[in-house]
């Protein structure tokens, strides 16, 4: 190729310098990168001839005075860079890391001492008083430190990067970060050794530190950007996590295990067992004094923690030294510590709800003395370039940072307690410590809003569904009221959370019944295992009675010096009730108190009809409820109680007047043939007692209708005659299905006495032998015969018969055929007895016969009660039949929904039955031929023929 053009003066200088060399570098070929393209001397040809022949004619760029120095510089540059360059070999030459020392590094990468020529070249280029230093000081390509950094980058990417990537992606993933750091440390030694030995000492003392920092930054940059950041960060996070679990005292660790592992991989928790000091909340709160608890957090440290801390800091120092730390390391460490705080809170405080709660105190001490200490130590290792330039007086972690971390920990403890809140309410009040922790968290609107929404979502998922009974829902609601009254005395949180619960309870049909039954329950039944009644309401009613009378001047109490306004997150329609106790909250579920009063009358009527001698509990509840409902609302209940007490006096008078009082028989008149005298015969006359009720004040009483035995019917007539004589303006209507009977049965091998219902007594009375002499064969009757004889429904007859089977008085020989069991079977006959009393449950594994019969009797009684209730409902529905006939006659066929809508409008007080009840009633009318279903499911009147 043709030679390039150079100025004439430059060519002359080259000729001169080729003959009269100024230094000992005259025979050295300069580095092509920094030397003009002037060619080289051939073998046997002088250097000056070659340069003279290659002199081109170009514009003057170099003066005649600068050319000799340029040639010397170029030649020195070539010698120095040739000495400082690295051999292109990687880690393949290293067999074992443990055997690598300085001698290996010198042999493999040519780290031997420089020759005199290289030594002179380095002095020429790097000496502070170099004659040509000012000429090239502004040119980066003539900066030997810059060139060394570029050579380091080139050599690392060409030789070491591939080997390190093989380690990262290799099959052996154990201690992989330690191996990578060790390899990079060797690489660092290779690059730093020549620089520190031969380059840095020759620099000006003011430039040495800056030059070495530049080399460090270059090495760290090439390491950081040549290795996969995601993988190295994951490895670093794994190592920090493993050691931080031990240092921070996280119980069980992030994987649920604690301790170390042996050579077989089994978990060895002996170190946890033998630990002298522990930051565990469970152990910490057991310490007797606050001073000891604080000392455990500040001074005491376990040997296992010390070892883990030293190992972690040593590893991080190596990571920082090879360039994997810095800002990226700080980000990884921050991510790990963020997760570790959450994990520590979860493992330490989950399920720890004892009161008084010391969780917040323990957490603050842990953050201040353990968490913040580890952060300071690690940040002191992971120095970023910006932090290295700061003064020593600058603190990486300030007191304000520690306080912020404590607040973050309290917030996460509150989030944990929020997630546990449903279980806390279930375990109330043994879990009141969790509510104390929540008080430190729920002090700002955002936290309160999050708590309320999270808890409402949990309630909708775990409580407010058809699978939960009304008793369970009310029990949880009572616990919620008590807990949230402690958490928020203003009641704003309770108001927000209780709304979906109250809305759901209003839609439940048995809500009022459960509440009233709980108010009337005996205080002796207030055990925690009671699941069928809210017996605690009876205790709560008496407990809050005194609080109800406390002075309460409303929301604006001008004498209350501690008054504070409602929180800003209160709902627009929020109004704190004057009495936010449990009873007041439950009673206010419904807008009208008539619902509770009506159900109270029904429940009170059932209890007053029982065979009891006193009604102290009912009287007490009624007096307490008068305070809340008023005397006028409970007037009917007062009349019901007065009827029961007046009945005792009236009953005694009528029995005396009619001669129904039982007389004491004379002693010793039983004959040897078991015949009876007239006195014994009078003793066997049944004793009849009656409770006389005021029909207008008592709720409608539903009872089974049937024919009572003739003897009882005669007594009832005599009793009615006596009552009409005593009170001529009144008349008795007997409710036979609501009474109780004390039955005495004489069998061949035993006597039986028990209190049963009137229809059960009537059924067993029907099995009595018709003659005075006992029959040779036990009496046997079928369900059909008993139905005809007693005018009783078949389901009720079968229920009574199965009841007596459960008492081992009857036995079922065939389906719906029963006979008297005069003699109990012996052990040999027990199996045959079980077969004879087969109640469609004789498969293996079933309960004993008596238990099966009792269960079947209860089921049959429930069926009979449902039939009776349905019949009563249908009878009441007949009252609305004329409305339905009028609508269908005047307006033609109608669908069910329209009929319901019209009834709600036309009937005074509204239509009280559901769509299903009306559909069932109309189906009965269709079966009777009084209605028919037209197209589209419309109902129409059947035409009369």
Per residue in 383-426, pLDDT (tens digit) is 765 555 555 555 678 888 999 999 999 999 999 999 999 999 99
Max Cα–Cα distance, the chain, nearest Å: 168
pLDDT at 938: 86
- Residue 640 clears pLDDT 60, i.e. is over it: yes
Q: Which of 400, 426, 452 is the last residue of a domain?
A: 426
Q: Read off the pLDDT of each residue in 203-222 and give the average, rounded to a whole number.
A: 86
Q: Does residue 223 sit in the same domain as residue 241?
A: no
Give the Cβ contact number of residue 902 at 10 Å.
18
Secondary structure of 866-930 in the HEC alphabet?
HHHHHHHHHHHHHHHHHHHHHHHHHHCCECHHHHHHHHHHHCCCCCCCCHHHHHHHHHHHHHCCC
Q: How confident is the model at residue 311 (pLDDT cuts 50, 70, 90)?
A: very high
Q: Does residue 212 sit in the same domain as residue 344?
A: no
pTM for this entry: 0.70
Q: Does residue 196 sit in the same domain as residue 96?
A: yes
pLDDT at 371: 92
What does 610-671 look like in DSSP terms, one character per residue? Answer: SS-S--HHHHHHHHHHHHHH-TTTTHHHHHHHHHHHHHHHHHHHHHHHTT-SPPPPPSS---
Q: Does residue 235 sit in the same domain as residue 372?
A: yes
Q: Does residue 120 sit in the same domain as residue 236?
A: no
Say how far apart CA 622 and CA 638 lie, in whole Å. Answer: 8
- Residue 70 clears pLDDT 50, i.e. is over it: yes
Q: Read off the pLDDT of each residue in 7-22 and give the average, rounded to a whole number.
A: 61
Mean of all residue pLDDT scores within the chain: 76
Q: Does residue 88 sit in the same domain as residue 169?
A: yes
Q: Read off the pLDDT of each residue in 178-198 and give the average, rounded to a whole number.
A: 86
Secondary structure of 749-762 in the HEC alphabet?
CCEEEEEEEHHHHH
> Who has greater pLDDT, 493 or 704?
493
Q: Is residue 154 part of a domain?
A: yes
How many domains does the chain contain in total? 3
Q: What is the DSSP letter of 525?
A: G
pLDDT at 457: 93
Q: Read off the pLDDT of each residue in 295-316 and give the average, rounded to a whole number.
A: 85
Classified as helix, coil or strand, 66 is coil
What does 214-230 look like in DSSP terms, one character per residue? Answer: HHHHHHHHHHHHHS-HH
Q: Which of 57, 50, 62 is closest to 17 using CA atoms?
A: 50
| 762, 713 contact by CB (below 8 A) | no
Q: Is residue 332 part of a domain?
A: yes
| 381, 317 contact by CB (below 8 A) | yes
Q: Does residue 220 sit in the same domain as residue 346?
A: no
Domain region containing 924:
866-941
Q: Does residue 244 sit in the same domain as residue 371?
A: yes
Q: Read off the pLDDT of each residue in 251-264 and give the average, rounded to a whole number.
A: 47
Say how far apart CA 138 and CA 140 lie, in whole Å. Answer: 6
Where residue 100 falls (left for φ over 0; alpha for ψ -120 to 50; beta otherwise) is beta
pLDDT digits (tens, 9 = 90+) for 718-775: 888 888 888 888 888 888 888 888 888 888 888 888 888 888 888 888 888 765 555 5
Q: Does residue 199 sit in the same domain as residue 340?
A: no
Q: How confident is the model at residue 142 (pLDDT cuts 50, 70, 90)?
A: low
Q: Is residue 932 part of a domain?
A: yes
> Who has greater pLDDT, 582 or 28?
582
Q: For position 886, which CATH number holds?
A: 1.10.10.10
Q: Read off the pLDDT of each residue in 689-699 and give the average, rounded to a whole number.
A: 82
- Residue 243 clears pLDDT 80, i.e. is over it: yes
Q: Read off the pLDDT of each residue in 158-175 and give the average, rounded to a whole number.
A: 83
- Residue 632 clears pLDDT 50, i.e. is over it: yes
Instruction: Map tokens 């009615």 to a residue.
Output: 720
Q: Is residue 535 part of a domain?
A: no
Say how far apart CA 51 and CA 18 lie, in whole Å. Answer: 8
Q: Which of 610, 582, 437 is closest to 519 using CA atoms?
A: 582
864-884 burial by CB neighbour count: b if 16+ within 10 A, else e?
beeebeeeeeeeebeebeeeb
pLDDT digits (tens, 9 = 90+) for 603-626: 888 888 877 777 888 888 888 888
Lowest mean pLDDT among 327-331, 424-428, 903-907: 903-907
Q: Is residue 408 part of a domain?
A: no
pLDDT at 367: 92
Q: Does residue 200 sit in the same domain as residue 121?
A: yes
pLDDT over 70 percentage in the chain: 71
Say how far apart CA 153 and CA 147 lie, in whole Å. Answer: 10
pLDDT at 10: 60
Say how far apart CA 670 and CA 365 lie, in whole Å. Answer: 90
Q: Read off the pLDDT of each residue in 826-837 and give the average, rounded to a whole number.
A: 52
Q: Which of 379, 404, 426 is the last residue of a domain?
A: 426
Lowest mean pLDDT among 293-307, 447-461, 720-734: 293-307
Q: How confident is the model at residue 282 (pLDDT cuts 50, 70, 90)?
A: confident
Residue 529, token pair as written in the block: 């295992």
Q: Which of 792, 583, 825 is closest to 708 using CA atoms?
A: 792
pLDDT digits (tens, 9 = 90+) for 876-903: 677 778 888 888 888 888 888 888 888 8
- Residue 458 clears pLDDT 90, i.e. is over it: yes
pLDDT at 273: 40
Q: Which helix (H) or strand (E) holds 261?
A: strand 260-261
Q: Is residue 304 part of a domain?
A: yes
| C-alpha to C-alpha distances, 564 to 12, 446, 589, 646, 753, nearest whole angstrom | 99, 20, 27, 54, 67
Length of the chain: 945
Q: Does residue 99 sit in the same domain as residue 211?
A: yes
Q: How confident is the model at residue 266 (pLDDT cuts 50, 70, 90)?
A: very low
Q: Which of 187, 209, 227 is the last residue of a domain?
A: 227
pLDDT over 90 percentage in the chain: 12
Cα-flanking dihedrals φ and ψ of residue 741, to 5°?
-130, 135
pLDDT digits (tens, 9 = 90+) for 89-113: 766 545 444 455 555 555 555 556 7
Indicate the burial class of 89 (C-beta count within 10 angstroms; 0-12, 13-18, 19 or more): middle
Say how far apart CA 433 and CA 356 lie, in whole Å. Answer: 6
pLDDT at 55: 36
Q: Is residue 103 part of a domain?
A: yes
Mean pLDDT is highest, among 301-305, 351-355, 917-921, for 351-355
What does 387-426 look like in DSSP terms, one character per residue? Answer: HHTS-TT--SS-HHHHHHHHHHHHHHHHHHHHHTHHHHHH
- Residue 45 clears pLDDT 50, i.e. is over it: no
Instruction: Compute the C-alpha angle 899/905/906, nearest 5°.
Output: 85
Lowest mean pLDDT among 378-392, 401-415, 788-802, 843-857: 843-857
Q: Is residue 465 part of a domain?
A: no
Instruction: Compute the C-alpha angle 496/359/247, nearest 5°.
Output: 130
* Helix residue ranges per DSSP H, 658-735: 678-683, 710-726
Q: Read off the pLDDT of each residue in 270-276 and give the average, rounded to a whole number.
A: 44
Q: Does residue 192 sit in the same domain as residue 248?
A: no
Give the Cβ contact number of residue 674 at 10 Å.
6
């Amino acid at each position: 190729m043709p030679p390039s053009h150079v100025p004439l003066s430059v060519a002359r200088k080259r000729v001169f310098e080729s003959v009269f060399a100024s230094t000992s570098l005259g025979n050295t070929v300069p580095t092509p990168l920094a030397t003009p393209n002037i060619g080289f001397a051939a073998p046997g040809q002088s250097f000056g001839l070659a340069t003279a022949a290659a002199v081109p004619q170009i514009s003057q760029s170099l003066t005649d005075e600068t050319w000799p120095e340029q040639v010397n510089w170029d030649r020195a540059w070539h010698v120095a860079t040739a000495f400082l360059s690295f051999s292109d070999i990687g880690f393949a030459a290293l067999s074992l890391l443990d055997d690598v020392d300085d001698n290996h590094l010198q042999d493999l990468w040519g780290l031997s001492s420089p020759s005199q020529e290289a030594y002179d070249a380095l002095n020429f280029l790097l000496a502070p008083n170099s004659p040509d230093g000012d000429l090239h000081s502004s040119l980066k390509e003539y900066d030997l430190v810059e060139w060394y950094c570029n050579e380091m980058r080139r050599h690392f990417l060409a030789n070491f990067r591939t080997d390190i990537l093989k380690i990262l992606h290799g099959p052996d993933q154990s201690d992989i970060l330690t191996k990578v750091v060790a390899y990079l440390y060797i690489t660092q030694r290779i690059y730093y050794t020549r620089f520190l030995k031969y380059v840095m000492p020759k620099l000006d003392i003011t430039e040495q530190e800056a030059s070495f920092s530049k080399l460090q930054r270059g090495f760290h940059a090439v390491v950081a950007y040549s290795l996969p950041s995601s993988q190295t960060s994951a490895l670093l996070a794994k190592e920090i996590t493993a050691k931080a679990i031990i240092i921070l005292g996280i119980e069980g660790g992030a994987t649920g295990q604690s301790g170390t592992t042996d050579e077989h991989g089994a978990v060895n928790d002996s170190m946890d067992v033998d630990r002298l000091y522990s930051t565990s909340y469970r152990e910490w709160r057991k310490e007797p004094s606050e001073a000891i608890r604080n000392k455990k957090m500040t001074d005491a440290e376990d040997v296992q923690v010390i070892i883990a801390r030293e190992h972690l800091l040593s590893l991080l120092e190596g990571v920082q030294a090879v360039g994997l730390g810095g800002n990226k390391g700080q980000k990884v460490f921050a991510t790990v510590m963020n997760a570790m705080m959450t994990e520590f809170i979860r493992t330490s405080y989950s399920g720890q709800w004892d009161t008084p709660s010391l969780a917040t105190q323990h957490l603050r001490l842990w953050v201040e003395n353990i968490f913040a200490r580890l952060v300071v130590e690690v940040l002191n290792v992971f120095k970023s370039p910006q932090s290295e330039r700061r003064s020593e007086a600058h603190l990486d972690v300030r007191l304000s940072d520690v306080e912020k971390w404590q607040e973050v920990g309290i917030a996460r403890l509150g989030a944990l307690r929020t997630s546990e809140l449903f279980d806390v309410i279930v375990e109330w009040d043994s879990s009141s410590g969790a509510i104390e922790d929540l008080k430190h968290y729920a002090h700002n609107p955002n936290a309160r809003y999050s708590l309320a929404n999270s808890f409402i979502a949990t309630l909708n998922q775990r409580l407010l569904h058809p699978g939960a009974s009304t008793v369970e829902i009310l029990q949880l609601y009572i616990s919620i009221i008590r807990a949230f009254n402690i958490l928020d005395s203003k009641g704003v949180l309770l108001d927000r959370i209780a709304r979906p619960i109250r809305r759901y309870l209003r839609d439940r049909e048995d809500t009022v019944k459960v509440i009233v039954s709980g108010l009337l329950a005996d205080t002796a039944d207030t055990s925690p295992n009671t699941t069928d009644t809210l017996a605690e309401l009876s205790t709560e009613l008496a407990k809050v009675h005194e609080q109800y009378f406390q002075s309460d001047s409303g929301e604006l109490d001008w004498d209350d010096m501690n008054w504070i306004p409602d929180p800003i997150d209160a709902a627009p329609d929020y109004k704190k009730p004057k009495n936010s106790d449990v009873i007041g909250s439950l009673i206010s579920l419904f807008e009208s108190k008539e619902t509770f009063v009506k159900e109270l009358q029904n429940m009170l009527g059932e209890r007053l009809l029982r065979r009891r001698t006193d009604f102290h509990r009912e009287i007490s509840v009624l007096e307490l409820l008068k305070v809340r409902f008023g005397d006028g609302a409970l007037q009917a209940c007062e009349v019901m109680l007065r009827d029961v007490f007046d009945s005792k006096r009236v009953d005694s008078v009528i029995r005396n007047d009619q001669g129904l009082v039982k007389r004491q028989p004379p002693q010793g008149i039983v004959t040897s043939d078991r015949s009876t005298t007239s006195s014994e015969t009078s003793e066997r006359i049944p004793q009849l007692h009656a409770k006389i009720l005021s029909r207008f004040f008592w709720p409608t009483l539903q009872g089974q209708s049937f024919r009572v035995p003739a003897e009882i019917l005669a007594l009832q007539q005599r009793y009615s005659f006596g009552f009409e004589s005593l009170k001529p303006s009144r008349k008795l209507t007997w409710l036979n299905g609501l009474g109780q009977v004390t039955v005495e049965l004489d069998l061949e091998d035993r006597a039986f006495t028990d209190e049963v219902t009137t229809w059960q007594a009537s059924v067993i009375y029907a099995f009595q032998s018709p003659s005075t002499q006992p029959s040779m064969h036990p009496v046997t009757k079928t369900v059909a015969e008993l139905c005809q004889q007693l005018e009783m429904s078949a389901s009720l007859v079968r229920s009574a018969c199965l009841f007596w089977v459960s008492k081992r008085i009857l036995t079922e020989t065939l389906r719906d055929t029963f006979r008297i069991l005069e003699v109990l079977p012996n052990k040999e006959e027990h199996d045959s007895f079980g077969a004879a009393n087969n109640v469609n449950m004789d498969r293996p594994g079933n309960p004993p016969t008596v238990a099966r019969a009792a269960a079947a009797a209860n089921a049959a009684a429930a069926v009979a009660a449902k039939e009776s209730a349905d019949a009563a409902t249908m009878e009441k529905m007949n009252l609305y039949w004329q409305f339905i006939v009028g609508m269908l006659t005047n307006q033609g066929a109608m669908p069910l929904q329209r009929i319901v809508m019209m009834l709600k409008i036309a009937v005074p007080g509204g239509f009280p039955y559901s769509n299903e009840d009306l559909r069932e009633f109309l189906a009965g009318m269709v079966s009777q031929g009084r209605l028919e279903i037209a197209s589209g499911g419309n109902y129409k009147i059947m035409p009369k023929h």
